[in-house]
Each structure stands twice: as structure tokens, then as C-alpha cells.
Structure 1
Amino acid sequence: MLHAGNFSQQAVSAVGVNGASIVRVRFDTESGVARIAVNNNQGAADPIPQNIDSVIFLGAYQRGNFYSGQIAEVLVYDREVEGADLLALDTYLHTRYAIERTPDPLPPTIVFDAVPQNMMLARCGDSLIVAGRVAAARVKNVAVTIDTNGVDVVSQSFFDLAVDATFRVGFVVESGAHLYNVVVTADTGGVELDTVINNRNITCGEVIAITDNPIRSLVRRDSPSPFSRTYGGNFSSQRADTLYKASSAEGTGGGANVGGWGLYMQNAIIEKMGTPTMVINGGVGGTSIQQHLPDPNNRLNLSTIYGSWLYRVIQSGSKDRIRWLFWYQGESNSGADDYTALFDQLRNAWLEDLPICSISWLCRYVRDVVGTDITNSATPSASSKTVTQRLLSTPPPASPSTMAVTTAPTDISPSANNSSTSTASPSSV
């Protein structure tokens, strides 16, 4: 399913069609989640943009053309089809066309009050909680196992549980290159245990903000380190897009993209310092600085670059964790006469929304270089220098240790005459 022409944020079914099939596609406007089921087997539950077109295309875009084939019948309802109506419709279609229907999934055996997310980046030293309640009588025993680097940190079982019985386990996430895996299994009387939760690659580290207008900085073929991750989708307008993801620099933005130099920086930090990182990316190519300003009437307007970025900062619990923000202005209006005044507005917004952020960046401003190699661009304009000096004049927080931002390899690094290196000090390094 494709909405708003956003090819980087489609709903794509993991269940394929093999022969005659019944495909059910539903979009929830409130949550922004698209669901695709093939023969009642759910293949997708993906957040995508709101639909802005009155036309629904069948078979369009997803590596194919418009639908070409026969339509057996069209059923029109004067109400939303759900509950008993949906079951009756499904039964009718599967019976009439002799297509096997996957049975409905069993109701949940356990309802969780707290569980660390897959690929979560927690605060170092925090205690993460696994807590739940038994919701089905067939559950007899529950086991919680937490391991890191192949060694169990927690292995606890709860026996002879009744419906509504609760359990709770906590563990501390220690700093360093550690990946924690959380597995919860339930004994329901079958031959094998039911795996209820299998959330992997949980770690802790530093959160970094990027918001920029990149030129060549988007595409990079590096593979992300297991310790380099992001949250939500780059410039996502969906409230439901709140998953931790492995960082990417493929393509031209959207999804898990953190930009070429962003991914290089993340990989370098874990390699040289042993610190996992998460980037909240607000970079969108081809944009002016005006487009990065917050909506004065609604700071969390998800249709704006700033609102989408700030929403992901808040939802990931990073508002009071971000101490470094990188602004990389590209080709669009970086030499405009009012650039300094506009930048002051943006900088004040950052300082208001990121209370502990040290405005101390590796910055480079480029003007009049569209279509040229930015690694060999001319010296920045006087106005660009003024803004850069203001950025670098804000002192970093006091700390006995130092984090140095190093230049990237030659294909994305600034030239020797047109770069600045700043330092800041993470307490966990």
C-alpha cells in the first residue's frame, strides 16, 4: 500500500500470494497503520502516511503495474465492515471460491505492562523491566531469560500461574559494547514452549541529533554497526512510527536513513570509543533553513520537518539525553542575507527543546556549489563564518573525558580549508 507517494514508507506484505487468494487491506486513519492479510494470514502492520487521494489503486507501484485481470464480484457496504460482519464476509468469500482460510490467531496468552523494545537504546545504568499478566488459562508456567554476549544475566521461571497472575523481572543495562536479548516463553501444555517475546540487540549509549540539508551526505554503502541505530522514520508524519531500527545510509532519505556522514560517525564512535549511539535524524535534502523552523502554532506538527524530528526525540525518551546536535547546511539559501537571523530562531528552538544539549558541532556551510563536488568547495561566505563562530563559541559541558568528532573519509569529508572540529564530553565515555 502506498500513500502520498512515499516510496520509502510503504506497507509491504511479508506473506506472498500463491495461486487464488483473498487479500484484505485495511488502513486505520487514527493510528496510521496499514494492515495487509493474505487468506487471513497477516503479512503487514506498517505505519504509512495518510491517504491524500480519493482513488485507491489495485496492484500499483509495488514492483508492478496496475491490476490486469478479471474481477469476480464487487460487494458494497453502507458501513465499516468489522467484527461479525467481517467474519461473515471472509467466510462467504473463502467458501464461495474454495480458498483455504488461515484460522484466526489465538488470543494473547500474556499481556505485558513493560518490556524493552527490540533494538532499544536505553540509558546506561538504567534498570529495564519485564512485567506481565497471564491472560489465558492454558498458561501454566512462564520463563524470562535475558542474556548478553552469550551469557545469561537473568533466568527466572514462574510456576503454577493462574489467570491474572503477574510476574516482574528487572535487569541493569551496563555501558559498553553489550547487546542484550530478552526472551519470554510460556508453557501452555504443548510439546514445545511458546515464545511470547523475543526482543534482541538491546543496548545503552548516547543519543545524537542531526538536522540538516545534505547534498552528498545521504548515500553511503557502509553497513551499520550492530550498535548504530535510529528511531522512527526520517521525516515520518506518522505517530505510530516509533520503532528502533538499524541506521542506514542507503537511498535518498526516509525510513531509517541517518545520512552518509551520520552513519560514518556512528560506526566510528563504537569502533574507537566502544559507545553505542542512536541518531534522531531531521535531515531532508533540498530544503531551505525556513523549512526547518518549528510551526509557531504547533511545535509537534508532524507535517513539518521540525515537528517530525521533535516528536521522535520525545517518543524515544531522548529530550533530556541529547547533548550533541549537528547542523549541516547544504546548497539551499545558506548564503542568504537573512540566514543568520533565521539560524538564531532555529538555534533558540533547539535550546528550548533540548535542555542539556551543548551547542557544539562540526559545522560547514556551503553556498553556490550546486552540482559541484562539495569536498572541494570554496571558503564559506562571511555570513556563514559568523554563524559557524557563534555555534562553536558555546562551551561544552564540563567533564573529565572528551569526545572528539573526527573528519570522515575522503568521499564525504570537508576539505582541509573548510572544516571545523569541535569537542564535547559524554559522561559515559
Structure 2
Amino acid sequence: MTQTQRPSPSPPALRIGLLGSYGGCNIGDEAILKCVLSCLRGHRPDARLVVFSRHAEHTRLHQPQADEVVAWEGVPQKPVLDALAGLDLLVLGGGGILYDGEARRYLRLVRAAHERGVRTFAYAVGAGPLREPEDREAVRAVLPAMDDVVVRDEESRLVLEEVGVECELTVTADPALLLPPEPFTEKMMREEGLPVGGRLIGMSVREPGRAAENLDEASYHALLADVADFLTRRLDAHVVFVPMERQDVHHAHGVLSRMSAPDLGRILHNRYSPGQVLGFMRQLDLVVGMRLHFVIFAAVTGLPFLPLPYAGKVFDFARRTGAPTLVGVAREQAGLLLAEVDRLWDEFPQRRGDLGTRVAGLRALAGETCVRCGDLIDSLDGGPRDTARHLVPEPGLCLFTTGAAAVRADGR
């Protein structure tokens, strides 16, 4: 190179935005954000990752892979729209964000991105219920204009097709299936007042909702208390309630107060990262849960689990993993529920291998979402810049590679 020659300037790093239900309100959503950030960082280490958050300070504190965080709720909209205009790609989701009252709000920002010439990708989103006309119209109008729409389950595809979405919908799996566990130590166990070495049953409860439409809250809590009491006697175990959202604590107390042996129940009170909650699952022997990501964590850990239905997404995950698929719960059906969990415990040794195979397949599908998103990113500027040498997976996390048809699971 002569003195007059200068190296060509490197193209500016891509700016990629992430929009979802982020900001610390739900452990499952935070698990999704961590996994999507890991996907994008693994594919493009030099990209500038911008998270649009409902609680910006929480995201800045707990999601170190984010380069920038933009608050988008309860703030003037001009800074939000300016941040959108500076993106090369906006990633919507993942998680269940396309539902009544919320779909219109998320898609308003996606539409604004389109108006500013920003490409968009729907990252394994969940949909439904969608009954409100404004939300249905937003879904019909905005999703077909996106570059790629990936949903996390068949239930979401059926909901969107019923609404009238006319574009290709690819079904993969929830991004949180790829979350790496973090240690949950004996010290943490002692701080929670939990026995080390004895049997532990994990439970996840939430408001009744569609899981128990014919029950008032007291009856619903009493039904779950019956399940907890049965398990403590049947398995000589303690029951641990794991809140996935802070309001779950109220319902856990409601169940605990109706147990005949409340001294055998505990509620996790400290705040933990999604990876620590996943690590805690390794302390458990069996899981009964309502929250989707609680049962996802159980499946990834290789535990027997009984999903308590409250939404189509839980039915769909139970079906895909071969778990029992209950059609509803009512107080007069308590005996059937107890018989189901009893059979689950007895038969699980024979089913363990099948669960492992099914979960490995779902983890591979979750990795496919990352591959599709990576392909779109590469189309923006002609391909990755020496990406392969940067792809060092975290322990327990699948290795994403551009164009790969599968990912490596760790068997858990």
C-alpha cells in the first residue's frame, strides 16, 4: 500500500432493535429476551442491539448484552420514533404479545418502523386470544408487511389464520427452550428455608382465568391445595411455589393457606434471574404448573410435569412434549386431577427417554428461528463479517450457525 492509499472504511455496524414484553414483569419474557439477544450477538458480534423496554432501568441492569435501552411506555413518542428510524432491523418478540389490548400497541410501532423503511422480523411470537376488532385489524394489516413471521406454536398459527392473516407463517418453538441454567446453590436453598436432599415438588400458580372459569378464587385455591396436600403425602415431599410474576405470590399464599399441612409448603421470596430459576428446577422431583415457562423449564430439565391448562399455548406445549393434556379443572374433578398426577409419577421412568427426544426436537426448532433471523440480517449488508470465529456458545446453550438446519442440545 502506498502512502496515498488508505484502507476502505468499514461499513457501520448494523443497528437491530428488539420489541417485546420486556422489563422484568415476567421471568419467562426475560428468558426470551436473553435468548434472542444471545442469538443476535452470536450471529453478529459487532451489531448494535437496542431493546425497547417497558421498564428501561430493569433492562439496563439485568440484560448486559443490550447496547442501548429505549423506554417506550408512558414517555413522549418522538424519542421512540427517532430510535426506530435509526434501525436497520426491528425484531418483534418473541413471546405471547399478539393478544387483545396489546397487539395493537406493539404493531403500532412495527407499522411506524415500516413507514421509516426499517425491515422487520417476528421472532417466534405467540398469538391469542384475538377478539377485539382493533387488534384483529392491526394483525391483518401489519403482519403481511413484515419480512418474515415466525410463530412459536400451532395454536398461534391457527389464531392468526382465523383472523385472516394472508402471509406465510412458520411454526418453530419458544426461544426460552435455549436458556442456559445458572447455579442455584445450597446457600440459596437455606436462605429460602428449603430442605437439601429431600423430595421437592414445584408448583406454579396464577389467577384462575380460563383454567377454571366456573370456580371463584377461593375454590380454585382449595383445588390446588388438594393437589399440594396429596403430593406431600404421596411422595413424602415439600411443595415449593415458584412465582413467575410478582402477583403469583398472592395466589401461592392463597393455596398455601388452604393446605392441611401448610408447614410442608414454601414460597420462593427472593428475586432470581431466569437462569437461576432454571437452575433451581434441578432441585425438584416433579412439577405441577400453570405458567408456560415454568413447564418449559421443567421439560428442559427432564422432570415429570403436569401442565394445568389456562391457555392454548399450554395445551400446545403439553401436546408437543407428550405431557398429560387436561381439558379443564373444576373442584368436582379433583379426584381425576390427583389420579393424573399419581399416574404421571409412576409412569415417568418409562417416558423419560421420549421426553428427552421431544425436547431436543423443540430446541432444534427454537434454533431455526435464530437461523431465519440471521439470514435476514445477512441480506441487509451482504453477509456476516467473519462471524464463525466469534460463535462461542454459553454452557448449556445451543450453538447457532448460519444456515444450519439443527442445533446441538445438551440433553437436559
Q: TM-score, normalised by structure 1?
A: 0.24
Q: Which has the higher strand share?
A: 1
* Larger Rg over CA atoms: 1
Q: TM-score, normalised by structure 2?
A: 0.25
Structure with more contact order per residue of length (Cα contacts < 8 Å, sep ≥ 6): 2
